[in-house]
């Protein structure tokens, strides 16, 4: 790190890839001008940034562009190069929507030659098309791209994880800092028993509780140890439907809860056993899946249930039917009042966290893919047989896989689900969000330098 204790992060890339939008997102203010016209930013701009518990200095830079030695573009490039040299790590931003350009490749080569730490960021990756486009960034040889949307705040949690690794590896970081706590967000409808559950978990009345809905306003972080492992628990305000959110204060509280989900690693959704799996519960679970976070469902007030096994079977069946995108999600009966089931809940959290981080070797994946195709070949569409040629995992958190096939757009959604469900069962990924992206062609990674960033 630099001489000071604050991590310095430069944001670089060609013009108009969203550098200033990302800068504004990180510093939480509209400090940098944003416009569709390239070249709006001409000087370096610094701001104090925050991502979850991580604080650092963000440096917005002019767009990397080619130009003569006396041109404005050349002077802007000099400013950017100075920022890279002074930074502890740089975020090289590319545009997933427009794809990788010759200019991106040119400056990626220059950046590799500097030997400075680089994190590759694929911006504008919202939606399936954007996510697929982000994978093109592998060809830059800068490792695994982090797919984000600076405008919509998607993927920011993964960016935080990547930056945090530089803090943990810095010389002044202690060994205790290296044992990073598992980040847990506890969410649910108002008055579902979230704060009571956390108080019972940590063994003290740390959070205000009561029968009134909406007592919790802020997302409150609590450090806690269970069986020798560190956790950070985030209690959040109850998440209600937008039509029910009236006051400005409650809107801020709900927004704070949504941010807690974005920065969490595992989300515990607390549902009330007397009104389980209501529409709002399902919407919250879907939000967690969209954010790519691991999910565990705590069925609270279990002490009120008489026919327990019957209800448990019914809830598991309902969850499979209503949450197919999170098939196999753990439903753990608990009681925040008596403490029943809390150890089982934490065991499920640790298991979900491990599945969320899991990496599967390419060899295992393709042996599995061969068996899946042999058992159930891809269908013929318009008289032409679809061919699945290769499967690789590009990242974890959540597990993300890329399948290369002859005609990605023609593969039926039912066959995609067949593969995703197979991945869950074969590799222990039940209840974890899975991203399966289809690309055209053969194995593009064979013999290519620049593997996954560690």
What is the pLDDT at residue 220?
Answer: 64
- Classify 39 in phi/psi space as left (phi over 0), alpha (psi -120 to 50) or beta: left
What is the pLDDT at residue 63?
Answer: 63
DSSP letter (8 states) at residue 345: H
Contact at 8 Å (CB) between 81 and 74?
A: no
What is the pLDDT at residue 80?
Answer: 63
| pLDDT per residue as tens digits for the range 282-334 | 988 988 998 899 999 999 999 999 999 999 999 999 999 999 999 999 999 99
What is the pLDDT at residue 36?
Answer: 42
What is the pLDDT at residue 129?
Answer: 64
What is the pLDDT at residue 251?
Answer: 43
Residue segments in the chain with a per-residue pLDDT below the cut of 50? 1-4, 31-43, 67-73, 169-178, 206-219, 240-254, 444-454
| Six token digits for residue 129 | 């098309």
Contact at 8 Å (CB) between 94 and 87?
A: no
Contact at 8 Å (CB) between 137 and 120?
A: yes
Contact at 8 Å (CB) between 325 and 413?
A: no
Return the bridge partners of 315, or none.
none
Contact at 8 Å (CB) between 22 and 121?
A: yes
Task: Sort strands 229-235 and 220-226 into parallel, antiparallel or unpaired.
Answer: antiparallel
What is the pLDDT at residue 174?
Answer: 41
| Six token digits for residue 34 | 């944003």
DSSP string, 10-49: EEE-STTSSHHHHHHHHHTS--S---SSTT---S-EEEEE
pTM: 0.64
Task: List phi, psi (to 5°) of 390.
Answer: -165, 145
Please state, in angstroms and rounded to a whole number, the distance separating the CA atoms of residues 358 and 354: 6
Return the bridge partners of 393, or none.
401
Return the bridge partners of 149, or none.
154
What is the pLDDT at residue 110?
Answer: 79
Go through the domains of the chain in sequence order and give each one's CATH number: 7-169 (3.40.50.300), 181-357 (3.40.50.300), 362-440 (3.30.300.20)
The residue behind tokens 């002859």 is: 406
Residue 366: enclosing H or E segment and its boundaries?
Answer: helix 362-375
Contact at 8 Å (CB) between 317 and 351?
A: no
Please state, in angstroms and rounded to a whole number, the distance separating the CA atoms of residues 190 and 213: 5
The residue behind tokens 């680089």 is: 118
Please state, in angstroms and rounded to a whole number, the distance separating the CA atoms of residues 252 and 33: 25
The residue behind tokens 């400090």 is: 31
Handedness of CA 16, 17, 20, 24 (dihedral sign): positive
């Amino acid at each position: 790190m630099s001489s000071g204790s604050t991590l310095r992060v430069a944001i670089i890339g060609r013009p108009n890839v969203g550098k200033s939008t990302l800068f504004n997102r990180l510093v939480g203010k509209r400090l940098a001008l944003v416009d569709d016209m390239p070249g709006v930013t001409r000087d370096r701009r610094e701001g104090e940034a925050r991502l979850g518990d991580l604080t650092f200095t963000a440096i917005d830079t002019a767009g990397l562009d080619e130009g003569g030695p006396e041109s404005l573009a050349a002077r802007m490039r000099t400013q950017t190069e100075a920022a890279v040299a002074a930074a502890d790590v740089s975020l090289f931003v590319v545009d997933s929507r427009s794809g990788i350009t010759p200019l991106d490749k040119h400056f990626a080569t220059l950046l590799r030659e500097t030997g400075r730490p680089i994190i590759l960021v694929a911006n504008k990756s919202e939606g399936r098309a954007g996510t697929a486009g982000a994978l093109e960034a592998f060809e830059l040889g800068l490792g695994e791209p982090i797919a984000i949307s600076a405008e919509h705040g998607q993927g920011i949690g993964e960016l935080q994880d990547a930056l945090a690794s530089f803090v943990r590896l810095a010389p002044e970081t202690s060994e205790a800092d290296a044992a990073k706590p598992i980040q847990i967000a506890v969410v649910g409808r108002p008055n579902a028993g979230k704060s009571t559950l956390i108080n019972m978990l940590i063994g003290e009345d740390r959070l205000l509780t009561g029968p009134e809905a909406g007592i919790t306003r802020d997302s409150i972080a609590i450090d806690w140890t269970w069986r020798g492992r560190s956790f950070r628990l985030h209690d959040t305000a109850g998440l209600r439907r937008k039509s029910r959110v009236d006051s400005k204060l409650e809107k801020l509280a709900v927004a704070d809860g949504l941010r807690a989900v974005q920065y969490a690693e595992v989300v515990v959704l607390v549902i009330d056993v007397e009104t389980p799996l209501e529409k709002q519960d399902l919407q919250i679970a879907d939000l967690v899946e969209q954010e790519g976070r691991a999910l565990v469902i705590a069925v609270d007030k279990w002490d009120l249930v008489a026919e327990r096994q019957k209800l448990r079977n019914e809830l598991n069946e309902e969850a499979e039917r209503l949450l197919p995108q999170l098939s196999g999600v753990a439903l753990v009966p608990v009681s925040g009042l008596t403490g029943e089931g809390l150890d089982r809940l934490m065991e499920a959290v640790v298991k979900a966290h491990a599945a969320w981080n899991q990496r599967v070797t390419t060899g295992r994946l393709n042996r599995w893919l061969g068996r899946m195709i042999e058992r159930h070949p891809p269908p013929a569409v318009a008289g032409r047989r679809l061919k699945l040629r290769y499967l690789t995992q590009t990242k974890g958190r959540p597990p993300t896989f890329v399948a290369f096939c002859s005609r990605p757009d023609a593969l039926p959604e039912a066959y995609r689900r067949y593969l995703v469900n197979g991945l869950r069962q074969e590799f222990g990924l039940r209840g974890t969000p899975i991203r399966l992206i289809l690309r055209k062609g053969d194995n593009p990674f064979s013999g290519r330098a620049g593997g996954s960033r560690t």
